[in-house]
Structure 1
Amino acid sequence: MVDSLPFLLEGAKITVLLSLGSIIGSLIFGLVIALCRMSSNSVLSRIARIYISFFRGTPLLIQLLIWYNGFTFAITPEGWQAALVGLILHFSAYIAESYRGAIQSIPNGQWEASYSLGMNYYQTFREVILPQAWRIAIPSIWNSLIDVAKSSSLASVITVPELTSIADQRSASSLIVLPILLEAALIYWGLSTLLEWSRERLERRLRIIK
């Protein structure tokens, strides 16, 4: 276990980078999908609805294999590229629904009061609605973000040398399976705990600001 720890930490660096990129991308793209889903434009709304249904209704592993192997006739992506795209597209569907539920929970009076003050739609959404919706959506969104970090382990299937891949290689080469896999599990647990701690701290900060 001691000999394997440096290798596992190197894999953990890739896991952290992949998770961070996927988290940022999912938060941004999830908001875009949520806005399309609530749009008065029936075409945009229908596309967003199909998108959410597809990516929530199919396994992430299948999606990763599609991005990595399914388009080799046109492009040959690196494993980390396919993993990043797959994680962002998959979890943005869940985050979009969290955004949508939070935004729709804001009373219509908030919109009307903002319009009466001379604010347009975009100003109202940016300065009044979104900050309130963000506070409401934090618990469900953060659960999705923790799932992003854990689900990054599936990138090992498409040749990304992240934590799970390195742990599997080290356990196979040393024939010491359980201790090394438990060691990797503890690192994932640490990452999830760090995300949970950041959520609690953010919620406390928002309560103080409020």
Structure 2
Amino acid sequence: MSLFEQNFSVFLQGFGHTLLASIFALVGSLILGTIFAIMQVTNSRTARTIGNIYVQVFRNIPLLIITLFFYLAVAKVIKMTGFTAGTIALTLYTSAFIAESVRAGILSIEAGQMEGARANGLTFGQAMRVIILPQAFKVAIPSLGNQFINLVKNSSILAFVGGLDLMYQGNIVAANSFDTFTTYIIIGLFYLVITLPLSYYIQHLEHKLKKNA
């Protein structure tokens, strides 16, 4: 019986946790990133300052440090598992990069569109939601796609805090079987199961939007 067959349930469990953490972090980072991107382009100096500080802090601190902070420090105050700590850290870290991608998309839209929307009675929030953001996301799709793929790969950080993810389970299999090479080849293939379809979908969406432009 092959290593894969012997440990299929272990790999599958890790794959499930990796997929779940990636989905949670993807949705959360997209929401947070969009919010902080908008804050960076508002007329409010306070909002811009908060947005800039958030992005600069989480972009320039290693993901491992953020993860360990939640797992070792925050968990003393708010009880959380390694999976939760890793997913929160992954969300915050990725959201900073998404904020920059979305901000760049917003700034690429002609300023007159916002001015025209405000002149027609729309609030800043309404104009941003209905007119600016849909266009900004189209511009930012290639960059966002790269961030989403990086997010999936970065989810391996959960292994450092007992997050039961694919890398964590793989480390256990490698330690028990002493077949490190085969184990990590299998892990790499599992990651490709997530990242390749995501990559192809982003490319498809990008080509589709270009045709409709």
TM-score by length of structure 2 reads: 0.92
Instruction: Report the CA distance between 1:128 and its aligned residue.
Output: 1.4
Residue equivalent to 2:138: 135
Deviation at 1:208, TM superposition (A): 5.1
Kindly state the Cα deviation for residue 67 of structure 1 after the two structures are TM-superposed.
Answer: 0.4
1:16 aligns with 2:19: yes
Identity percentage over the alignment? 31
Shift of 1:173: 0.5
CA distance in 2, matches of 1:23, 1:204: 22
Q: Which one of the candidate residues 149, 152, 155 is aligned to 2:155? A: 152
Distance in 1 between the 2:178 and 2:206 partners? Answer: 44
Superposed counterparts of 1:1-210, under 5 Å:
1-2=3-4, 3-207=6-210, 209-210=212-213
Q: Deviations over 1:80-112 (max 9, x none)?
A: 111121011111000001111110110112223
How large is the RMSD of aligned CA atoms in angstroms?
1.6
- How far apart are the structure 2 equivalents of 1:41 and 1:117? 21
Q: Which runs of 5 or more residues in structure 2 are unaligned?
A: none
Q: 1:85 to 1:103 in 2, by over 3 A?
A: same
Amino acid at match of 2:49: R
In 1, Cα distance between equivalents of 2:112 and 2:75: 52
- Displacement after TM superposition at 1:151 (Å): 0.5
Q: Which amino acid aligns with 1:58?
A: I
Moved more, 86-95 or 114-123: 114-123
- Secondary structure of the structure 1 residue equivalent to 2:48: helix
SS of alignment partner, residue 48 of structure 1 = helix
In 1, the alpha carbon distance for the partners of 2:115 and 2:152 equals 40
* AA matched with 1:25: G
Distance of 1:153 and 1:72 partners within structure 2: 20
Alignment check: 8 A CA contact 1:153 1:164 kept: yes
The DSSP-based 3-state class of the residue aligned with 1:70 is helix
Find the residue that maps to 2:74 and give its secondary structure: coil
Distance 1:71 1:134 in 2: 33
Q: Mean alpha-carbon deviation: is it higher for 43-52 or for 96-105?
A: 43-52
Report which stretch shifted further, 58-67 or 30-39: 30-39
1:68 touches 1:76 (CA, 8 Å); kept in 2?
no
Counterparts of 1:117 and 1:45 in 2: how far apart (Å)? 25
Sort the Cα spacing of 1:54 and 1:120 in 2 relative to 1 into closer, same or farther, 3 A.
Answer: closer
CA offset digits 1:135-168 (Å, max 9, x no partner): 0001111111111100000101111111001111
Alignment check: 8 A CA contact 1:4 1:180 kept: no
**Alpha-carbon shift at residue 118 of structure 1 (Å):** 4.3
Amino acid at match of 1:187: F
TM-score for the superposition, normalised by structure 1: 0.93
